[in-house]
Structure 1
Amino acid sequence: MAPPCGSGRRWMRAVKLTLLLFFLVPMSSVGIRNTNTIFDKKKKLEIQRQLKRLNKPALKTIKSPDGDIIDCVDIKKQPAFDHPLLKNHTIQMRPGSYPEEFLFKESNNVSSNSKPKITQSWHLNGRCPEGTIPIRRTKEEDLLRASSVANYGRQKYNSIPNDDNNAIHEYATLIEEGDTYYGMNADINVWNPHVQEQNEFSLAQFWLAAADNNGVNRDTIEGGVMVYHEMNQDYRTRLFTFWTNNGYQSGCYNLLCPGFVQTDNRLAFGASLEPYSDYGGDQSSVNFFVFKDNVDGHWWLQLGDNFIMGYWPSSLFSILANSATSVTWGGEVINEQRGGQHTTTQMGSGHFAEEGPKRASFFQNLKVIDHEVVLRGPRDNRRIVTHPNCYNLLKGDDFFYYGGPGRSPICP
């Protein structure tokens, strides 16, 4: 129907005004807001479910100076027992067997000049009582910032070192393979490397891996020190472990997935370590010793000379339930190549291996437990160094120096 005579212009102005208001009014007022509200509620419920799963009831809570919250959780109610294979598992507080020949001693090849033993920041405000284990609390903001709530703390990248020039991974590692392995040892130098991007990391670690007859890695046990903002929301160097039993399709860091049974109440996985090494000065390191108990078959982790942290039950694994097929030590960074350039993320101290003692980062006291269940130095090993102009490695008999600055005039 046509508008009344003389009012056509007013009618057209009204139509234009209506259309203008339609496009200017925020979409939230025409129905989109309700959709967002439903989405936000679903995400919040998902976050709350994850927090309830990850954060067990605490018998004592300790606030760390670095911002962490450490919950002292009943050892019998720790996350490990959420695993379906460990529902009726009986905790073992000590290994059924221990390699008698293992001795902690300084290597003559690397200048240690170490500060007092490694500690964690939360120790300044308290300790966990007997019968509990310390667990770094996962906060709501951790999950809100994570790329995926469901996958928080899970391995984002397959991290078995290989000889391919991978655009994402950078390695400077030493690998021994060709034998049957029941454990390994290494002193890992502790630094606080610069990391460029929040979703990049820099770590120093060991890998105990088991592969099938086709050479496909299926099971790994890993541990070391790392800087990883995306997971920890800061750039501190933190203690970590990791395991997988299906080629990185599942598994995750620390106690964020059920599996590792912690027995020690003094150190928390995922918590920051101190002190760091000083360039040209005092050096800090942590000794990592993993061995297979020949009574019960579990893989035990010991830090230093008196921290028996706990174990990975043999029932978690298939191939690794029996033994490992390779042992690897070294550094890894993620290189996102932002802007088409190599990352400036550092490995180790951020200095090349040639700089040597007190300047380059090191691994020392390298040992494996071989098929004769004898603890010995590495043999027939080889280096995996993906881009030696960015990060490199120089090895000795039972030690090596490694690391680098990342992007530089020789690493564009």
Structure 2
Amino acid sequence: MALLQLLILVLCIICHKVDARSHSQQERHQRFSRSQEVDSNINLVSRENEFDCIDIYKQPGLQHPLLKNHKIQLNPTFTRARKQYIQKDFNAGNFIGCPPGKVPIYREKMKHQMNFNSMESQIENFPLYPRELPIERYVTLDTTPNTTYHGAYANVNICAVSPLQKNQYSLGQIYAQGGPPAELNTIQAGWGVSPDLYGDSKTRLTGFWKVQGDQKSAGCFNVLCPGFIQVHQTVGFGTILEPSQTGSTTKLYLNFIIEQDNQLGNWWLTLKGNINIGYWPKDIVPHLGNGASVIRFGGETGSMASVSNPPMGTGYLPEAKYRYACYFARLKILDSQFKEQEVKPDDMKIYRNADPKCYDLLYPGYSGEQHRQAFLYGGPGAPADQCGPL
């Protein structure tokens, strides 16, 4: 009798483990399936005539010489429950997404495609497009502790910038950086306005990566050079982000997350906690392979010396407050243990390489339950010689 009871107990334990494993696999499958859905609260506009659906295994990013044997990571290994604060409705335009096995690549990429015939060449031979404009201005809120970071999180106000000229761009981004200054590795993402990239002044999902070198640098915006791996079937770099209207009491803010996969080391770009756009493989940013040394949040502009420094954010200085100025809210980092932590004012500093009359940043710290740790930033810009030394 005792032996029979023991056998029954063992069978119950085995059945429980199988059922739990099956339930876990089902949950994981459902979670990954949901990650392909565009949340109905996000005002993203994708236009059919602006994107080409490319075989995911033949996408431009895989042409990078360091990714010859790269196995595409279709989903991140992490998952994290996050409460979101995002307004406005989803507008898919006339682009319903790519069929299974294909991903959207912004069509302008084909016009700007560099000549990558020599794929066996070293990474330093890859050109940088078109980031190296003579005048780059920043106002950012940067981490200061000497530690390792594995990601960053913010609700980013999507701002309307007055029409820009060619050879100008304006960005609101999250940055992860690592390595010595001469070899600095950077990945960043957020919103951007650039007539050179997109042919208009609409606010769009924009990313950038760069590996600094003593002689040459590598990297580019979006997917203009090999490197970034796109996995989402509908939302990609170049997607229009419908901005709030200046002075409106209803403002769109979109949750951006740049997060390192704690198992494979790749750096993922995620919107609203579950829209996994794609990732920068750790192989192309070696100084970020074990994490970043600095996280930055804020604004950036670029221009040629022959044109003015363009507006940043809404074009209003932060003293205009939330009704008019652009902002970042609910700032968080992923610490050295991959734990999500709200930023601490004592661990942050403001960086600015422009006259505060051109661009500025105001960080009051805790800004109420809705925004938590938040800051305002932006400015009107000015002629090239009126924003101070770089």
Q: Give the equivalent residue in structure 1 for 2:105.
A: 135
Match of 1:91 among 72, 79, 82: 72
Q: Give the equivalent residue in structure 2 for 1:246.
A: 212
Mapped to 1, the partners of 2:248 and 2:228 lie a distance apart of 37
- The change in CA–CA distance for 1:105 and 1:69 in structure 2 (over 3 A counts) is closer
Q: Which amino acid aligns with 1:228?
A: S
TM-score (norm 1): 0.70
Mapped to 2, the partners of 1:261 and 1:369 lie a distance apart of 22
Match of 2:82 among 81, 88, 103: 103
Mapped to 2, the partners of 1:81 and 1:149 lie a distance apart of 15
Q: Which amino acid aligns with 1:244?
A: K
- The change in CA–CA distance for 1:85 and 1:371 in structure 2 (over 3 A counts) is same
Q: Give the equivalent residue in structure 1 for 2:10.
A: none
Structure 1 residue matching 2:174: 3-state secondary structure: strand
Mapped to 1, the partners of 2:47 and 2:338 lie a distance apart of 42
CA offsets per residue over residues 48-85 of structure 1, 9 Å max, x none?
A: xxxxxxxxxxxxxxxx9979431111212111221222
Matches within 5 A, 1:357-376: 357-376=322-341
Match of 2:247 among 257, 279, 285: 279
Match of 1:221 among 181, 187, 194: 187
Q: Which amino acid aligns with 2:316?
A: H
Cα deviation, residue 329, structure 1: 0.8
Mapped to 1, the partners of 2:136 and 2:72 lie a distance apart of 37
Q: Which amino acid aligns with 2:107?
A: R
Matches within 5 A, 1:11-410: 68-98=49-79, 100=80, 103-106=82-85, 114-117=87-90, 119=91, 123-138=93-108, 142-143=111-112, 154-157=129-132, 168-177=135-144, 178-212=146-180, 215-247=181-213, 249-338=217-306, 342-343=308-309, 345-379=310-344, 380-385=347-352, 386-395=354-363, 396-397=365-366, 398-407=373-382
- Residue correspondences, number: 319
Cα deviation, residue 317, structure 1: 2.3
- The change in CA–CA distance for 1:290 and 1:296 in structure 2 (over 3 A counts) is same
Contact 2:331–2:342 (CA under 8 A) maintained in structure 1: yes
Work out which of the two has the higher radius of gyration on C-alpha atoms and give 1 or 2: 1
Structure 2 residue matching 1:80: 3-state secondary structure: helix
Structure 2 residue matching 1:231: 3-state secondary structure: helix
- The change in CA–CA distance for 1:204 and 1:65 in structure 2 (over 3 A counts) is closer
Structure 2 residue matching 1:356: 3-state secondary structure: helix
Mapped to 2, the partners of 1:217 and 1:115 lie a distance apart of 41
Structure 2 residue matching 1:251: 3-state secondary structure: strand
Structure 2 residue matching 1:257: 3-state secondary structure: coil
Contact 1:346–1:405 (CA under 8 A) maintained in structure 2: yes
CA RMSD after TM alignment: 2.8
Q: Which amino acid aligns with 1:359?
A: Y
Q: Which amino acid aligns with 1:376?
A: Q
Mapped to 1, the partners of 2:270 and 2:211 lie a distance apart of 21
- Structure 1 unaligned residues grouped into runs of 5+: 1-63, 107-111, 159-166
CA offsets per residue over residues 200-228 of structure 1, 9 Å max, x none?
A: 1111111100023xx44521111111111
Contact 2:127–2:218 (CA under 8 A) maintained in structure 1: no
- Structure 2 unaligned residues grouped into runs of 5+: 1-44, 117-125, 367-372
CA offsets per residue over residues 4-44 of structure 1, 9 Å max, x none?
A: xxxxxxxxxxxxxxxxxxxxxxxxxxxxxxxxxxxxxxxxx
Mapped to 1, the partners of 2:235 and 2:47 lie a distance apart of 15
Quick check: 129-138 or 318-327, which moved more? 129-138
Question: Runs in 1 of length 4+ with deviation above 4 angstroms?
Answer: 64-68, 148-153
- The change in CA–CA distance for 1:207 and 1:155 in structure 2 (over 3 A counts) is farther
Q: Which amino acid aligns with 1:225?
A: W
Q: Which amino acid aligns with 1:312?
A: W
- The change in CA–CA distance for 1:337 and 1:155 in structure 2 (over 3 A counts) is closer
Mapped to 1, the partners of 2:377 and 2:108 lie a distance apart of 33
Contact 2:358–2:381 (CA under 8 A) maintained in structure 1: yes
CA offsets per residue over residues 129-174 of structure 1, 9 Å max, x none?
A: 222111111377x45xx9x98888724328xxxxxxxx82222211
Structure 2 residue matching 1:315: 3-state secondary structure: helix
